[in-house]
Amino acid sequence: MQLGPYRLLAQLDAGRDGASYRAANAAGNPAEVRVLSGAVADAERWKALSKRLRLATTFDHPASVRIQSLELDHDPPFVALDWVEGTSLAESFAQAMPPPEEGLRIAEGLCDVVADAHRLGLVHGRLRPISIRLTDAGGLKLDFTGVEAGALSDPAAHAEMSAACVAPEVEAGGKADAAADLYSLGMILYWLLRGGTTLPGHTPREIAGNIQQETRTFRVSWQHLVPLLLAADPAERPQARMVLDRLQKDGSDVEDAPDAQTVLGQTVHRESSAKAPPTQVGRFRLMEKLGEGGMGSVYRAEDTTDGTIAAVKLLQGRWNDLEGAWQRLRKEARMLAEVNNPYVANFIEINEHEGAPYLVMEFVEGESLSKTLARRKRLPEVEAVAVMADVARALVEAHRRGIVHRDVKPENILLQMGSLRVKLCDFGLARHVLQSESLNLTQAGTAVGTPFYASPEQCAGARIDARTDVYAMGATLYHLLAGRPPFVAETALGLSFLHANKPPPPLREFNPDVSDGVCRIVEKALAKHPDDRQADAEAFLLELERLRRGEAVSLVVHPRLPPAAPGKVLHYEWTWELEAAPDQMWPHVANTERLNRAIGLPAVDFTTEPDPSGGTRRFGEARKAGVVNSWREHPFEWVEGRRLGVLREYHRGVFKWMASTVELKPRGDGGTSLTHRLRIEPRGLLGRLIAAVEVGIKGKRALERVYRRIDGYAGGKLGRPETSDPFEPAPPMKPAGRRRLEGLLNRLIELRLDPGVVEKLGDFLSHAPPQEVARIRPLAMAERLGLDANQLTAACLHGAREGLLVLLWDILCPICRIPSGVKDALQAVSEHEHCPACDLDFKPDFGEAVEMIFRVHPEVRASELATYCVGGPAHSPHVAAQVRVAPDETIELELALSEGAYRLRGPQLPYARDFQVRTTAAARRWDLTLGQGEPPRTPAALQAGRQIVTLTNEHPVEVVVRIERTASRADALTAVRASTLSLFRELFPGEALSPGRLAGVTSLTLLVTDLDPAGRLYEKLGDARAFDVLHGYLQAVGESVKREGGAVVKAVGEGMLASFIDPAAAVRVGLTLAGRAVSGAENGLRPRVAVHRGPVMVATINDHLDYFGSTVSQASRLTQRAAGGELVLTQTVASDPEVADVLRSRGLLIEVLPEEASSSMAGFLHRITVPARFPVE
């Protein structure tokens, strides 16, 4: 197969980015080609990888695997590298380690190539002995492309050492950066020092002690270099170039070992240089100087790999004489990475050029606040407060991590072009408050901080903390409002004296229009003693936000109540102390459908109508004791695991409105304090009497009964989950239903279903409440009962066939994911369905929106189909929080989101914002202004655990905001998934789409078999005998397909077409079939097999589901490219990482077919010749 100038010969491996191939270039020389089909399908991954590959093409080093060709615009995109003959460092030294001189040469070579790569900003990321190649000529080769086209896990023999090379910050979920490479380099040096052995489980501190006791030493300085490279603080690890310098300078005959400071000090000291500024540093071309400060100059620069513009801060001049300057700048870079948020000029990388360190940051198109002040003199209060609120947002996470900026001033506040959107920059004087004071961070005559905005403790050289930044923010806000700083003097010493001893002039002397509120905030921030200021940036921000928008409310005050005279509102509040934890109680307390029925509320008829402002309005009507109540039900509000509430406004009945809230608070002993509040405005005396009896007495009694029962269920006091219910006891079964149930369960056992599964299914059907047996989701139920999902699904399918259950289909709305309807057959699914909750017409996706469910057969027992509640948290388990925000309201949500992908959206919002939650993220707060213009800025990621999201609604109408998980539900047995089950097709052959209906399926794996040559079978055996052989063969194929969870679609000639969800399962079946001769045939007749994957269309033909489209057409022709005993795979299958695992474990050669054999096919084809094994029984 030809790919550009390269002829692909055989697939080597595959991973998440694509597959790697042994290839030959136009001259016939060997090469390795990596096809990037996986990476290009992931937009975020493709952006990062393509930039890295462009950078890697510029890297020219003898020890780096050279990129011959980079074709990112090719279809498919690929990268071609030099072919490297040789073995890994780990494999080469598995038996015997090299002599000391060879070990030193390897160490120097590693340091040299890593240093040069880091100089360009190129990181290896997976440096370990197994990833370092030793060529046949004895040279080193490292791959810096970062393409994952193979197994991520290393061979078992080398896994221990590979794991030891992972830096602790990477193991904790952090990014693999240059510092992580240095840690790996230190561990490899230690590995060489120990003669290829490690001490598993030992910490870097213990390793440092072990090194002192080593008898086999290449260089005495290694005893100090290795501990430095393994430093816990990534910023303290010496650069690879410094390590190389030390290795080359230190002779093997040195008697006295230098101490660690000597090793480091000798390598970081740089000679002063008066040379002209460079025109390029690393990959960045310097274009123009933007400014100069105490630590160096800032330039506008271009990234030569992709043309993007960045800001480069170059450390130069006399700063190069400071031994701690390099470490100091590296700490600045890591701090910037920690506080990375939308209000900070984002950090890109740190590097050095000819001994001069430099920092690369996001370039902000606009101007500094100081330039804005020079032009406008001062800002209106509204603008000034908005700017400083954004500055405070930039510092909230920094202060929480103990990081102090120390130099907040207008020059370091950048305003994006055409707006007052802030980017805070220059953390150059920032430091962790708790960091070691061992670094020399000051020098005689060097001013630290800017005196116009410096706090009294800064001026005095005293200890600083977050309140130092608060002072600077107050001084900057003073300047914005007054048109001048709070203090003005001719000398820095004079300014320092004023900051320490004199109160600032009143703001109103310079701006009489300033409000009392902002005067109080500034006065507090400029207090002489830190204890009298706001505690940190978050406290400063909260005061500014209260000034701007009023007090941010908590969800505790929601739902907002209609206006009413206080004396007319009835208040009921009850608290129960429960043994179960809040996360155990929440799934049941949030199930308002089940809870309402359990406490005796009547069933409700719900209707919806479009809301002119967006979304829908929901109305309910219920009858109890002859009284009809009708109401508008506002959207539920909740924060998962903590609180839920709802407001009903009645237009008929004995109440005017009712608000119900439930709050769960954890106790110190692991239990829960559950508080249920009801607030009601009744209509007249009758309403009061009914509320007193039905709510105050009966309601409390019913709630206590149910909450106590849920508590007991969570604690395992009610028995097994299949025989107990958290809400209410199941009604006893009628004798006739019991006898029918027992008979049907025995029938399932006769069908050889797992007796344990059948028993638990029977217990569930006997004891579950009527609502539970009305909608049985087999995959979710299997997880709940601890059963094998395939076994329970089989029991449900057989149960539906035998009359124990009824097979149904849920239609799920793609927006709210709530069932919008139930169909009794696939034929009843319309081409367009409607979700009344969202007022949305949608085309159901059979792979996502049509789910197989079951209901107990009415002859066995009754099920409950009535509705008691809709819109509660349990109806939308993917929604972590939902809240109503009134116009001009600001609400603060305290969340506890776990790691994953989320989306913020709402029916009234013209946009949605996707965001990530990661354990390694810095930000824990997100302030959003919900307007009709530009969408709010999204943080790079929020920290997993506890988060605060503040929402301010600038729309003229109320908006409903949801925070949703974006991951698809894995517990849904969709129609597509069901169609790949052999048992489903066997038991329900009539389950098909309506005639003429064609539905799309996103992706499906198809396996095709054929006999080669089949004609010879008829010639040798005759038609009758040949039929017997084929019949047995096709039965064996069907059994193999069924065992791997696939389904036989139809017979095709002397072969079959089968479907699978899992491509690896299809390949396992293909290998099994291709490796076995057909039983009963002469001369070892063997099948030829092909596997393809892609989108298909589903339709009903002759009352059976069948597949159509180009994927099916291509799959049906694939076996023509194979001979007996061969398996053909398309590129989409062969490059799947799980398929690659299967093939790697078999050790089979994966040949790439010539281009002429792959014509008219999707991508290029792979052929595997499977060794003959044994006949299929």
Tens digit of pLDDT for each residue in 1150-1172? 999 886 555 555 568 999 998 87
The first and second tokens of residue 134, run together, are 């030793």
Given this model, what pLDDT does residue 1080 score? Answer: 59
Task: Please name the helix (run of DSSP H) or strand (run of DSSP E) that holds residue 648, with its range, or none.
Answer: strand 643-652
Does residue 1013 have a cis peptide bond before it, meaning omega lies within 30 degrees of 0? Answer: yes
Angle between helices 178-193 and 100-119 (to 10 degrees): 180
Q: Cβ atoms within 10 A of the Cβ of 165, count?
A: 25
pLDDT band at 632 (very low <50, low <70, confident <90, very high): very high
Contact indicator for 568, 668 with CB cutoff of 8 Å: no
The first and second tokens of residue 59, run together, are 């890297």
Given this model, what pLDDT does residue 148 score? Answer: 93
770-824 per-position pLDDT tens digit: 889 999 999 999 998 889 999 999 999 999 999 999 999 999 888 777 788 888 8
Same fold, 2-82 and 280-362: yes
Residue 532 or 849, more confident: 532
DSSP of 376-440, one letter per residue?
Answer: HSS--HHHHHHHHHHHHHHHHHHHHTTEE----SGGGEEEETTS--EEE---TT-EETTS-TTS-
Architecture of domain 2-82: 2-Layer Sandwich (3.30)
pLDDT band at 195 (very low <50, low <70, confident <90, very high): low
Lowest mean pLDDT among 820-824, 874-878, 982-986, 1018-1022: 1018-1022
Contact indicator for 526, 504 with CB cutoff of 8 Å: yes
Closest CA to 107 of 204, 266, 250: 250
What's the whole-number average pLDDT of the chain? 85
Closest CA to 283 of 297, 301, 304, 265: 304
CATH number at 735-866 = 1.10.10
Given this model, what pLDDT does residue 924 score? Answer: 84
pLDDT band at 532 (very low <50, low <70, confident <90, very high): very high
Given this model, what pLDDT does residue 447 score? Answer: 41
Q: How buried is residue 587: exposed, middle or buried, by Cβ count under 10 Å (0-12/13-18/19+)?
A: middle
Q: Is the dihedral of CA 731, 736, 740, 745 positive or negative?
A: positive
Hey, what amino acid is at 1157?
Answer: A
Q: Is the pLDDT of residue 219 over 60?
A: no
Q: Is the pLDDT of residue 1028 over 60?
A: yes
Question: What is the C-alpha to C-alpha distance for residues 484 and 798, in angstroms, rounded to an integer?
Answer: 83
Residue 194 or 957, more confident: 957
Contact indicator for 645, 659 with CB cutoff of 8 Å: yes
Q: How buried is residue 354: exposed, middle or buried, by Cβ count under 10 Å (0-12/13-18/19+)?
A: exposed
Q: Is the pLDDT of residue 372 over 90?
A: yes
Closest CA to 674 of 593, 575, 540: 575
661-690 per-position pLDDT tens digit: 999 999 999 999 999 999 999 999 999 999
Query: How is the beta sheet containing 819-823 ordered, strand by strand?
Result: 819-823, 805-812, 850-856
Query: How is the beta sheet containing 140-141 ordered, strand by strand?
Result: 86-88, 133-135, 140-141
8-29 per-position pLDDT tens digit: 999 999 999 999 999 999 999 9
Question: What is the C-alpha to C-alpha distance for residues 1053 and 1088, in angstroms, rounded to an integer?
Answer: 13
Given this model, what pLDDT does residue 434 score? Answer: 36
Question: What is the C-alpha to C-alpha distance for residues 1072 and 1148, in angstroms, rounded to an integer?
Answer: 13
Q: What is the mean pLDDT of residues 699-704?
A: 96
Question: What is the C-alpha to C-alpha distance for residues 1091 and 1059, in angstroms, rounded to an integer?
Answer: 10
Question: What is the C-alpha to C-alpha distance for residues 827 and 840, in angstroms, rounded to an integer?
Answer: 21
Give CA separation, 796 vs 359, 756, 760, 775, 1080, in Å.
62, 14, 12, 12, 37
Domain 980-1169 fold: Alpha-Beta Plaits (3.30.70)
Closest CA to 1127 of 1089, 1086, 1157, 1173: 1089
Question: What is the C-alpha to C-alpha distance for residues 809 and 78, in angstroms, rounded to an integer?
Answer: 44
Given this model, what pLDDT does residue 258 score? Answer: 44
Angle between helices 204-212 and 178-193 (to 10 degrees): 30
pLDDT band at 252 (very low <50, low <70, confident <90, very high): very low
Strands (E) in 4-71, as ranges, are 6-15, 18-24, 30-35, 67-71
Q: Is 1103 helix (H, G, I), strand (E, B) or coil?
A: coil
Given this model, what pLDDT does residue 213 score? Answer: 62
Q: Is the pLDDT of residue 1175 over 50?
A: no
Q: What is the mean pLDDT of residues 237-262?
A: 63
Domain 280-362 fold: Phosphorylase Kinase; domain 1 (3.30.200)
Contact indicator for 941, 921 with CB cutoff of 8 Å: yes
β-pair partners for 312: 299, 360
Question: What is the C-alpha to C-alpha distance for residues 184 and 165, in angstroms, rounded to an integer?
Answer: 5
Q: Is the pLDDT of residue 199 over 80?
A: no
* Range with top average pLDDT, 336-345, 436-445, 978-987, 1128-1137: 1128-1137
Q: Is 481 helix (H, G, I), strand (E, B) or coil?
A: helix
Contacts of 194 (CB under 8 A, 6+ apart): 214, 216
Q: Is the pLDDT of residue 639 over 70?
A: yes
Given this model, what pLDDT does residue 445 score? Answer: 37
The fraction of the chain above a pLDDT of 70, given in percent, is 87
Which of 1.10.510.10, 1.10.340.30, 3.90.1170.50, 1.20.1580.10 would CATH assign to domain 86-268? 1.10.510.10
> Active site includes 407?
yes
Question: What is the C-alpha to C-alpha distance for residues 477 and 369, in angstroms, rounded to an integer?
Answer: 11
Q: Is 200 helix (H, G, I), strand (E, B) or coil?
A: coil
Q: What is the mean pLDDT of residues 160-174?
A: 86
Contact indicator for 561, 657 with CB cutoff of 8 Å: yes
Closest CA to 117 of 39, 184, 62: 62
Lowest mean pLDDT among 339-343, 749-753, 1077-1081, 1135-1139: 1077-1081
Q: What is the mean pLDDT of residues 1093-1104?
A: 79
The first and second tokens of residue 556, run together, are 């505790």
Q: What is the mean pLDDT of residues 693-715?
A: 95
Query: Where do runs of H (alpha helix) occur along 167-239?
Result: 168-171, 178-193, 204-212, 222-229
**Given this structure, which CATH class describes domain 369-435+450-551?**
mainly alpha
Given this model, what pLDDT does residue 910 score? Answer: 87
Of the CA atoms within 13 Å of residue 665, those in its CB half-sphere come to 10
The first and second tokens of residue 44, run together, are 């975020």
Q: Is 601 helix (H, G, I), strand (E, B) or coil?
A: coil
The fraction of the chain above a pLDDT of 90, given in percent, is 46
925-944 per-position pLDDT tens digit: 888 888 877 777 777 688 88
Q: What is the mean pLDDT of residues 1063-1075?
A: 92
pLDDT band at 293 (very low <50, low <70, confident <90, very high): low
392-426 per-position pLDDT tens digit: 999 998 888 788 888 899 999 999 877 778 999 87
720-760 per-position pLDDT tens digit: 776 788 998 888 889 999 999 999 999 999 999 999 999 99
Given this model, what pLDDT does residue 1084 score? Answer: 63
Q: What is the mean pLDDT of residues 985-993?
A: 80
pLDDT band at 994 (very low <50, low <70, confident <90, very high): low
Considering 17, 143, 154, 407, which one is annotated as catalytic?
A: 407
Length of the chain in terms of residues written: 1177
Question: What is the C-alpha to C-alpha distance for residues 180 and 187, in angstroms, rounded to an integer?
Answer: 11
| Kind of pairing between the strands at 913-918 and 942-943 | parallel
Given this model, what pLDDT does residue 269 score? Answer: 40
The first and second tokens of residue 359, run together, are 């920092």
Break the chain into its structural domains and give their ranges: 2-82, 86-268, 280-362, 369-435+450-551, 735-866, 980-1169
pLDDT band at 576 (very low <50, low <70, confident <90, very high): very high
Question: What is the C-alpha to C-alpha distance for residues 676 and 721, in angstroms, rounded to an integer?
Answer: 26
Given this model, what pLDDT does residue 1110 score? Answer: 87
Closest CA to 866 of 610, 620, 633: 620
Q: Cβ atoms within 10 A of the Cβ of 85, count?
A: 10
